[in-house]
């Protein structure tokens, strides 16, 4: 890839690009073609040890002594550098994860936005004074955890790095990042930009490698003080168990089965683009993808027909073609999604994109809209992580809420209705970390706290809330008589 200015087969540890201790590498594949396009480092437990030691040294040294406003200034400078390189980062991401260029560029811009937001907030996180007994002065201090571990998945590497590394650095933590083996390149590019921006050595360390090796070594390491994890429920449970062994806090963001609930009085012209885009964006590989569309029965046929029209018109292509939908991340993910689609044979295929002339080795699936499902159907219960949506009819508010809340997940939901009272009732009744009214996703919402309930995980990232998650509170009670 001609855009690369760093060695992809190295780790960043203590401000130095180093070969992994075991000398191993892992192949990189372009999801659009299946072609091998390079290699990344296969980091080991030894590299994680070195990275955690480097982070601890930075925390005790130069980074720990950097005043909050200077941390903020540095993050904002880094945000500017990311913006200037947005096209290059987008090209790298498109080749690495198969994301259409426009979507990859939007991720780069979101990364910059996180750095600006958390850079601006770095010196605005205050403790409190607490009225107490006569003769005391009591106050709280918000302090960094120390060394934070970050396990980032492959679906939105830049955005998730922005929201977790941005907030962690803003609050003065030193970070060790383990990107997903299928999506390391923009993490490495970002780390190099951070060095260029003047981030002290060891404040950010990156160890690529396998989840079961480098990832497990990081999450079980006794030298880290907080873990931020985004990924599957199964791996999230393993990460939480590892955190429990060291008695450290963990933020888990584990995806969902997010519904959009469409009532008969909804403005369908406004809703339709959201209904479909929230399912097919990033080829459906989005934690907050809306994979269930619940529609009040009197307008059910109309919604299915209008969504189907959009599905039939979707254009699927290579990332560089920059169409509506690209390939999935990997052959493995293609197998997972195809397996789910095989479970839809008892449903109606209401709409489906046509796959045109695509490279044979690419990981493509045809975006598909299934209709006629019940809330209990496997495709309405399990996270598919592909461009597949199911439409489910309902009758009245009570049934809508029961179906919306009828999965193990609770990440995001939306309600489409003109009735203000119903909007308020549903926003309360639906179990989710975010509820959108007459929109979906609020354009990413860097400022908006984000996270789940149930098997969608716990803890909040994004917005100001993340700054609390990446700090610990100390109460100081001074007796002075």
- Catalytic-residue membership of 175: no
Q: Work out how close the CB of 355 gets to ligand NDP at its nearest, in angstroms, rounded to a whole number.
A: 21
Q: Which is nearer to ligand NDP, 60 or 241 (CB)?
A: 241
**E strand or H helix that includes residue 304:** helix 297-313
Rounded to an integer, what is the distance from CA 283 to the centroid of its chain?
14
Bridge-partner residues for 403, per DSSP? none
In the chain, % helix, strand, coil (3-state, to 5) comes to: 40, 20, 35
Three-state DSSP state, 408: coil
What span, in angstroms and rounded, lies between the C-alpha atoms of 288 and 256?
Answer: 6
What span, in angstroms and rounded, lies between the C-alpha atoms of 211 and 154?
Answer: 12
**Token digits for 438?**
């007459």
Half-sphere exposure (Cβ direction) of 64: Cα atoms closer than 13 Å: 13
Q: For the chain, first and last CA: distance in Å? A: 69
Helical ranges in 7-85 per DSSP H: 45-60, 68-84
Q: Which is nearer to ligand NDP, 83 or 210 (CB)?
A: 210
Q: Work out how close the CB of 100 gets to ligand NDP at its nearest, in angstroms, rounded to a whole number.
A: 18
Q: Work out how close the CB of 381 gets to ligand NDP at its nearest, in angstroms, rounded to a whole number.
A: 13
Q: Work out how close the CB of 432 gets to ligand NDP at its nearest, in angstroms, rounded to a whole number.
A: 14
Q: Which of 287, 296, 397, 461 is catalytic?
A: 287
Q: Which is nearer to ligand NDP, 103 or 471 (CB)?
A: 103
Q: Which is nearer to ligand NDP, 89 or 216 (CB)?
A: 216
- Catalytic-residue membership of 283: no
Q: Work out how close the CB of 284 gets to ligand NDP at its nearest, in angstroms, rounded to a whole number.
A: 10
Q: Which is nearer to ligand NDP, 55 or 401 (CB)?
A: 55
Q: Is 427 exposed, middle or buried (0-12, 13-18, 19+ CB in 10 A)?
A: middle
**Token digits for 109?**
């811009």
Q: Which of 89, 158, 140 is nearest to 471 (CA)?
A: 140
The 10 Å Cβ neighbour count of residue 92 is 22
324, 282 Cβ separation under 8 angstroms: no
Q: Work out how close the CB of 25 gets to ligand NDP at its nearest, in angstroms, rounded to a whole number.
A: 13
Give backbone dihedrals phi and psi of 208, rounded to 5 degrees, phi first. Answer: -70, 165
Residues near ligand NDP (CB under 6 A) are: 151-153, 155, 180-182, 210-212, 215-216, 219, 230-232, 235, 238-239, 253-255, 287, 333, 336, 383, 385
Q: Which of 116, 159, 117, 125 is nearest to 144 (CA)?
A: 125
Find tokens 């619940």 and name the residue.
294
Q: Which of 93, 181, 253, 461 is catalytic?
A: 253
Q: Which is nearer to ligand NDP, 153 or 166 (CB)?
A: 153
Q: Work out how close the CB of 217 gets to ligand NDP at its nearest, in angstroms, rounded to a whole number.
A: 8
**E strand or H helix that includes residue 279:** helix 268-280
Q: Which is nearer to ligand NDP, 45 or 201 (CB)?
A: 45
287, 256 Cβ separation under 8 angstroms: yes
What span, in angstroms and rounded, lies between the C-alpha atoms of 13 and 54?
Answer: 7
326, 100 Cβ separation under 8 angstroms: yes
Q: Which is nearer to ligand NDP, 55 or 271 (CB)?
A: 55
Q: Work out how close the CB of 241 gets to ligand NDP at its nearest, in angstroms, rounded to a whole number.
A: 10
Give backbone dihedrals phi and psi of 445, rounded to 5 degrees, phi first. Answer: 50, 65
Provide the annotated active-site residues: 253, 287
């Amino acid at each position: 890839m001609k855009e690369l200015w760093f060695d992809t087969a190295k780790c960043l540890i203590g401000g130095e690009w180093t070969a992994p201790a075991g000398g191993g590498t892992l192949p990189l594949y372009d999801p659009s073609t299946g072609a091998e396009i390079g290699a990344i480092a296969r980091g080991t437990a030894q590299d994680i040890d070195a990275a955690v030691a480097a982070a601890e040294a930075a925390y005790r040294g130069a980074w720990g002594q950097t005043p909050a406003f200077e941390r903020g200034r540095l993050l904002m400078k880094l945000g500017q550098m990311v913006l200037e390189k947005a096209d290059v980062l987008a090209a790298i991401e498109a080749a690495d994860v198969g994301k259409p260029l426009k979507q990859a560029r939007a991720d780069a811009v979101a990364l910059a936005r996180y750095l600006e937001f958390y850079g601006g907030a770095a010196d605005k996180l205050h403790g409190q004074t607490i009225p107490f007994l006569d003769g005391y002065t009591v106050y709280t201090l918000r302090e960094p955890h120390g060394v934070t571990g970050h396990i980032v998945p492959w679906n939105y590497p830049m955005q998730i790095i922005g929201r977790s590394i941005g907030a962690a650095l803003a609050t003065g933590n030193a970070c060790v990042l383990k990107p997903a083996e299928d999506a390391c390149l923009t993490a490495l590019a970002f780390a190099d930009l951070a060095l260029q921006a003047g981030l002290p050595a060891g404040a950010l360390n990156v160890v690529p490698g396998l989840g079961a090796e480098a990832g497990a070594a990081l999450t079980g390491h006794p030298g880290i003080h907080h873990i931020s994890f985004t990924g599957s429920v199964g791996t999230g449970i393993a990460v939480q168990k590892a955190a429990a062994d060291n008695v450290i806090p963990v933020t888990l963001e584990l995806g969902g089965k997010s519904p959009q609930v469409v009532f008969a009085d909804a403005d369908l012209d406004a809703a339709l683009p959201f209904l479909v885009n929230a399912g097919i964006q990033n080829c459906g590989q989005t934690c907050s993808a809306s994979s269930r569309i619940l529609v009040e029965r009197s307008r059910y046929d109309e919604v299915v027909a209008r969504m189907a029209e959009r599905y039939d018109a979707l254009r699927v292509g290579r990332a560089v073609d920059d169409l509506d939908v690209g390939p999935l991340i990997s052959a493995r993910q293609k197998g997972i999604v195809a397996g789910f689609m095989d479970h839809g044979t008892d449903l109606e295929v209401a709409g489906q994109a046509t796959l045109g002339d695509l490279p044979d080795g690419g990981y493509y699936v045809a975006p598909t809209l299934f209709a006629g499902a019940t809330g209990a159907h496997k495709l309405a219960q399990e996270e598919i992580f592909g461009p597949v949506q199911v439409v489910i009819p309902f009758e009245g508010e009570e049934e809508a809420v029961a179906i919306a809340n009828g999965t193990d997940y609770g990440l995001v939901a939306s309600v489409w209705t003109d009735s203000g009272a119903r909007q308020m009732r549903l926003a309360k009744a639906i179990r989710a970390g975010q509820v959108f009214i007459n929109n979906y996703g609020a354009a990413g919402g860097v400022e908006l706290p984000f996270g789940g309930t149930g098997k969608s995980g716990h803890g909040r990232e994004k917005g100001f809330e993340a700054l609390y998650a990446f700090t610990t509170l100390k109460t100081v009670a001074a007796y002075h008589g």
